[in-house]
Each structure stands twice: as structure tokens, then as C-alpha cells.
């Protein structure tokens, strides 16, 4: 059974009654200094690399309907729409470079302050910045998986195959979304040719968790173990709207571990947070690393 996708969340009275987040990272630095902090990151940490978030002031969900798992498996038209748009959008994601926030997380890990990193992002920028053993909660756009035989392959290989199948395909991209889906005119999508798995001829899908699709259970359990072994949890750039990330905040709180949140704007986890900082991630994390 797959969960119904949660695309939007409106702050309730429990969030609206809270004091605004501070701009002082000192309380966060005091907790991180003790070490063994589990980090959870969301789309907000990648906005300074040119990748938009979903729910910020200019978030893509204001105008963009992301691909859902149900739509993708329902028929070829949905898959054609996704792959045509992603064929162009992925190139922008692939060219993106880590920003100060990613570099700060990698530095905190290298200096022994973190016990691990979980990311909801599919852009691979934490690894590009030098972070190790990152748990990719929602997968990575750099991989492709066959829904039939489960063979995985590099997205770059698929890119070459799609270019060969669509040698004249070009269109003006008006927007890139966090899932690598580009905004394209509908007429540009209609003639796009799909390619199948080279092993079994099955349907190819990016190795990411679409809205409405469950995160693999072993991956979820690995995240829970990471939080169980941590002394605190630090959330960076996530509104925590979707349960796939929010459940780890609730798990940490239930275990008596402090939750720290750095994000621009309110989050679903704010009522659970010991400290909330409202700042751009690059600025906040650079300040944090300088204090440690």
C-alpha cells in the first residue's frame, strides 16, 4: 500500500502561536559542540546552488504539480511527460555545485561533530561537497532503476540513449524543479521517444521516491538507527511537510533527544524544536562552523 502524497501543509494554531525563530545560532552551536548530531536536510539547503525548493516563498509547488508514482506507472503518456521534461531538467541538476551550506555540513562531519547525514534531496550535492555515507532518503537523480528486473544504471548512460532516440529534441526550459522536472510546453513533449531497460525491456524510472511512493523500509530503519545513536537532531532547510522526514523528528523527541531546526520560514516540526533559527542555510552554517 502506498501513502497518499502530502503536497501542502498549512501551519495550525500550535505553530502560529510560537515565537518567531531566532537569528542567533549560538544555542545550536552549543548542542552541536557536544557531537553525535544526526542531520536531516531538505530542499532549502540546495536553493543557493540554483535548485528551487518546493514550499518556500518561490517554491515550485505554487505552480508545479510534481510527478506522482501513480501517474508514472499508470500509462506511457505520464512517463513520456516525465522523461521529456526530466531529460532537459536533469542537465541543470547535474551541473549544480555544492554551496556553503553543503560544504559546512561536510566540514562538521569531517571534524567529528556529526554521527551521520540524512537528506531528502535527490541532487547528490552533499556527496559532491565531501560528506560521507549520506543516507539518500528519496534516492538520487543520477541513478535509474528498472521497475521489472530492478537493475540500476547511471543516469548519464540513459541520457546518451535518450539523446540518440531524440536527436532533434530541444525546447525552451522556463523553470527547473527540485525533482529535476523542467517546465516545458505541452507540444514539446508529445513526440518524445522513450527507451526501455537494456536487460529485460522493462520500464525505466529514476531511482528516486516519487510523491505517493513509500521509502524502502530498510532505508527508513537505517535512519531510525542513526537517530537512536545520536545525541541530538539538526534539521536543515526542510519544511518537514512530508511524513517521510517529519517522522524522524517525532522519533527523536520521543526518545528525549533535542531537535534543532534551521530553516527560512515555519516548519511542521517547530512545536517539537528546542531551538529554531530562521536564516539562509549558507549564512547560518558558515557562522555555525566558525563558532565550533
Write out the catalytic residue numbers.
138
Tell me whether residue 123 is annotated as binding: yes
The annotation status of 197 as a binding-site residue, yes or no, is: yes
- Name every residue whose Cβ is closer than 8 Å to that of residue 131 and which is 6 or more positions away in sequence: 102, 105, 106, 109, 117
Q: How far apart are the first and last CA of the chain?
A: 45
Q: Is 60 part of any known ligand binding site?
A: yes
Question: Is 54 annotated as belonging to a binding site?
Answer: yes
Whether 47 has a binding-site annotation, put simply, is: yes
62 annotated to bind ligand: yes
> Is 199 annotated in some ligand binding site?
no
Is 237 annotated for ligand binding? yes
What grid cell was written down for 287?
A: 557562522
Give the C-alpha separation, 127 to 270, whole Å: 28
Q: Is 53 annotated as a binding residue?
A: yes
Pairing type for strands 139-146 and 204-208 reads antiparallel
Residue 263 annotated in ligand binding: yes
Beta bridge partners of 154: 143
Question: How would you list the strands of the sheet with 275-277, edge to edge?
Answer: 135-136, 114-119, 37-41, 232-236, 259-262, 275-277
Whether residue 52 is annotated as binding a ligand: the answer is: yes
Residue 191 counted as an annotated binding residue: no
Q: Is 10 annotated as a binding residue?
A: no
Is 120 among the annotated ligand-binding positions? yes
Q: Which amino acids are annotated as binding site, given as ranges?
A: 42-62, 120-123, 146, 149, 197, 200, 237-239, 263-265, 281
Q: Which amino acids are annotated as binding site for NAD(+), given as ranges?
A: 42-62, 120-123, 237-239, 263-265, 281
Q: Which amino acids are annotated as binding site for Zn(2+), given as ranges?
A: 146, 149, 197, 200
Amino acid at each position: 500500500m502506498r501513502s497518499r502524497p502530502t503536497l501542502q501543509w498549512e501551519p495550525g494554531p500550535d505553530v502560529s502561536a510560537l515565537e518567531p525563530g531566532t537569528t542567533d545560532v549560538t544555542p545550536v552551536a552549543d548542542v552541536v559542540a557536544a557531537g553525535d548530531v544526526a542531520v536531516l536536510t531538505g530542499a532549502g539547503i540546495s536553493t543557493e546552488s540554483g535548485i528551487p525548493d518546493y514550499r518556500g516563498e518561490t517554491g515550485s509547488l505554487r505552480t508545479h504539480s510534481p510527478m506522482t508514482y501513480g501517474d508514472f506507472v499508470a500509462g506511457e503518456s505520464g512517463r513520456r511527460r516525465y522523461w521529456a521534461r526530466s531529460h532537459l531538467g536533469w542537465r541543470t541538476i547535474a551541473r549544480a555545485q555544492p554551496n556553503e551550506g553543503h560544504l559546512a555540513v561536510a566540514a562538521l562531519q569531517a571534524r567529528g561533530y556529526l554521527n551521520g547525514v540524512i537528506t531528502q534531496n535527490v541532487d547528490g550535492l552533499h556527496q559532491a561537497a565531501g560528506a560521507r555515507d549520506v543516507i539518500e532518503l528519496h534516492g538520487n537523480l543520477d541513478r535509474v532503476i528498472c521497475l521489472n528486473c530492478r537493475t540500476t544504471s547511471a543516469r548519464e548512460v540513459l541520457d546518451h540513449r535518450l539523446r540518440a532516440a531524440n536527436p532533434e529534441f530541444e525546447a525552451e526550459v522556463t523553470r527547473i524543479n527540485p525533482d529535476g522536472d523542467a517546465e516545458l510546453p505541452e507540444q514539446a513533449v508529445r513526440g518524445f521517444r522513450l527507451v526501455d531497460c537494456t536487460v529485460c525491456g522493462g520500464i525505466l524510472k529514476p531511482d528516486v521516491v516519487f510523491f505517493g511512493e513509500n521509502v524502502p523500509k530498510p532505508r527508513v530503519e537505517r535512519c531510525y538507527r542513526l537517530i537512536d545513536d545520536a545525541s541530538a537532531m539538526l534539521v536543515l532547510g526542510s519544511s518537514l511537510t512530508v511524513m517521510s522526514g517529519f517522522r524522524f523528528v517525532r522519533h527523536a523527541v520521543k526518545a528525549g533527544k533535542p531537535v534543532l531546526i534551521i530553516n527560512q520560514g515555519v516548519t511542521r516540526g517547530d512545536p517539537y524544536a528546542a531551538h529554531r533559527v530562521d536564516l539562509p542555510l549558507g549564512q547560518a552554517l558558515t557562522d555555525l562552523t566558525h563558532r565550533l
